[in-house]
């Protein structure tokens, strides 16, 4: 592909995939194959290759084990480079040779600090041209991107763009959110279970505190972006007084006022039984699921690029304006924050837990002005995504690294490494990323993105 034939992301969105790569990507069943291990003698029979690896998006426990496994596969026969600073580092050519010894101190450690990460969306020709130059300069045969759903959209887009440069692109499914799955080949992304373990411990401790000192209603927001997998998992393990699953709220069409009423009534009922404390868990993405708030966010998304608060607000319908006005000012400001580079609203920056307390206080004050609600907001988020990997993620990540390295060394492109971790045999797969595509509206454009797996079993 010459530079003039390069497709920008929006052109890529509108066209079908390059026929040359289509045959590799579309409609293929996941290929099941035996994975290469570092001590496997046939690894040295392969033509020596030059691989590069990067983290992309938020950290997730176990990422360092993925990189170490790839480094071990490359040791002595292939050359591995670490890309510093995620996709932005790839564009800037921030690559350095990476050896097993470089990675060993990070084995079984949380975080992505070995290489760091970022969320740059690869979408235009200038970025692609820069990456092509980097591929040429470092003579790369493959790039392995360790990332979530949006990073896999990047990976597929790059796989197409670099096909003619004979540089493969492979993805490794990472995210604590639990929304990147492809059962039965990939029951879960790495990081989910370790993060849930930490959040479960923290929520249990809070419940124990309330039962020890008999005070405070704790409103706990749990990370997980749009999907409520983490909240559901933690709630099942800890049994809080109340919890919400965003997907269920959308399914049952429950407006924000009904949620406030449910929380307020639960607190009042409990006080009638002399219980003045409790724990309520909510998913990070709650507001995006509540039907009336969702409509408001969609309208704001359409006009967010106007950058002028009053111009944006003029575009809202009267019911949207009323709902917007019912939020405390800090939530109004947070709803107007810039979207991330992939077009997502930045849910982790919206203080839903504080907002709910504020609205529940007002609801209760209307019913009983003498009632004092002693409530505390919490957000369990960033501390969970960098926790130490548990035994499951530590082993799962080593396998995922071996699968990703094997796919790259065998010359696959546009595939995501997968391991069926439910069966004892830990079968390895390469999943064509194109099989996971769907169309979504982001930044007001219909674009192909990797489909998120949401909670359906409520
Ligand atoms: P990804 O794994 O999809 O990159 O996101 C993980 C996550 O922790 C989300 O749960 C959260 O909404 C988001 O990152 C916060 O991102 P940021 O680092 O940009 O604040």
For the segment 49-65, what is each residue's pLDDT rounded down to a tens digit? 999 999 999 999 999 99
pLDDT of res. 349:
87
Which range has the worst mean pLDDT, 192-196, 426-430, 454-458?
Answer: 426-430
> Is the whole-model pTM more than 0.85?
yes
Cα-to-centroid distance, 12 and ligand 1 (Å): 25
For the segment 11-51, what is each residue's pLDDT rounded down to a tens digit? 444 444 444 444 444 444 455 555 555 556 566 678 899 99
pLDDT of res. 7:
47
pLDDT of res. 34:
53
Question: Does the beta carbon of 58 lie inside 6 Å of ligand 1?
Answer: yes
Question: Does the beta carbon of 177 lie inside 6 Å of ligand 1?
Answer: yes
Residue 68 has pLDDT above 50, yes or no: yes
Cα-to-centroid distance, 58 and ligand 1 (Å): 5
Question: Does the beta carbon of 348 lie inside 6 Å of ligand 1?
Answer: yes
pLDDT of res. 23:
43
- Torsion-angle region of 62 (φ positive above 0: left; ψ -120 to 50: alpha; else: beta): left
Cα–Cα distance, 66 to 419 (Å, whole number)? 13
User: Which of 14-28, 79-93, 296-310 has the largest mean confidence?
Assistant: 79-93
Average of per-residue pLDDT values in the chain: 89
Active site residues: 177
Cβ 222 vs Cβ 282: under 8 Å: yes
Which tokens belong to 405? 């390295």
Which H helix or E strand runs over 430? strand 428-432
For the segment 142-158, what is each residue's pLDDT rounded down to a tens digit? 999 999 999 999 898 89
Which tokens belong to 18? 């390059």
Residue from 57, 190, 349 to probe ligand 1 pocket by mutation (most atoms less than 8 Å from CB): 57
Which range has the worst mean pLDDT, 97-101, 215-219, 428-432?
Answer: 428-432
Output the residue whose Cα is nearest ligand 1's atom 9.
225
Cα-to-centroid distance, 91 and ligand 1 (Å): 21
- Torsion-angle region of 148 (φ positive above 0: left; ψ -120 to 50: alpha; else: beta): beta
């Amino acid at each position: 592909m010459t530079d003039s034939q390069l497709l920008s992301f929006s052109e890529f969105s509108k066209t079908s995939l390059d026929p040359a790569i289509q045959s590799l990507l579309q409609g293929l069943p996941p290929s099941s194959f035996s994975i290469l291990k570092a001590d496997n003698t046939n690894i040295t029979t392969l033509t020596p290759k030059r691989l590069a690896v990067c983290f992309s998006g938020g950290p997730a426990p176990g990422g360092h084990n993925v990189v170490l496994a790839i480094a071990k596969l490359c040791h002595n026969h292939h050359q591995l480079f670490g890309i510093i600073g995620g996709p932005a580092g790839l564009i800037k050519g921030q690559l350095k040779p990476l050896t097993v010894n470089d990675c060993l101190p990070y084995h079984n450690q949380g975080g992505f600090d070995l290489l760091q990460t970022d969320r740059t969306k690869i979408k235009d020709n200038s970025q692609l041209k820069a990456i092509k130059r980097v591929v040429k300069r470092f003579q790369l045969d493959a790039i392995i991107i360790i990332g979530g759903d949006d990073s896999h959209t990047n990976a597929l887009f790059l796989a197409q763009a670099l096909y003619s440069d004979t540089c493969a692109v492979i993805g490794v499914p990472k995210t604590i959110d639990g929304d990147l799955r492809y059962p039965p080949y990939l029951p879960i992304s790495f990081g989910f279970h370790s993060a849930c373990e930490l959040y479960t411990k923290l929520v249990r401790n809070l419940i124990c505190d309330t039962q020890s000192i008999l005070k405070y209603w704790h409103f706990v927001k749990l990370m997980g972006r749009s999907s409520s997998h983490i909240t559901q998992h933690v709630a099942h393990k800890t049994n809080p007084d109340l919890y919400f699953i965003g997907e269920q709220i959308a399914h049952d069409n429950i407006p924000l006022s009904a949620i406030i009423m449910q929380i307020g009534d639960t607190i009042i009922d409990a006080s009638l039984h002399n219980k003045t404390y409790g724990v309520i868990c909510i998913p990070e993405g709650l507001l995006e699921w509540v039907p009336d708030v969702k409509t408001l966010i969609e309208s704001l998304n359409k006009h967010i690029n106007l950058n002028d608060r009053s111009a944006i607000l003029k575009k809202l319908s009267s019911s949207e304006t009323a709902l917007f006005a019912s939020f405390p000012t800090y939530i109004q400001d947070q709803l107007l924050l810039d979207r991330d580079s992939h077009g997502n609203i930045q849910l982790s920056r919206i203080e839903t837990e504080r907002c709910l307390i504020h609205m529940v206080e007002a609801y209760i004050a209307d019913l009983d002005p003498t009632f004092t609600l002693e409530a505390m907001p919490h957000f369990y988020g960033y501390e969970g995504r960098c926790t130490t990997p548990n035994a499951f993620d530590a082993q799962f990540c080593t396998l995922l690294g071996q699968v990703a390295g094997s796919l790259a060394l065998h010359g696959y492109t546009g595939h995501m490494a997968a391991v069926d971790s439910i069966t004892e045999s830990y079968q390895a797969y390469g999943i064509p990323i194109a099989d996971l595509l769907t169309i979504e509206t982001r930044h007001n454009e219909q674009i192909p993105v990797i489909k998120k797996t949401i909670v359906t079993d409520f």
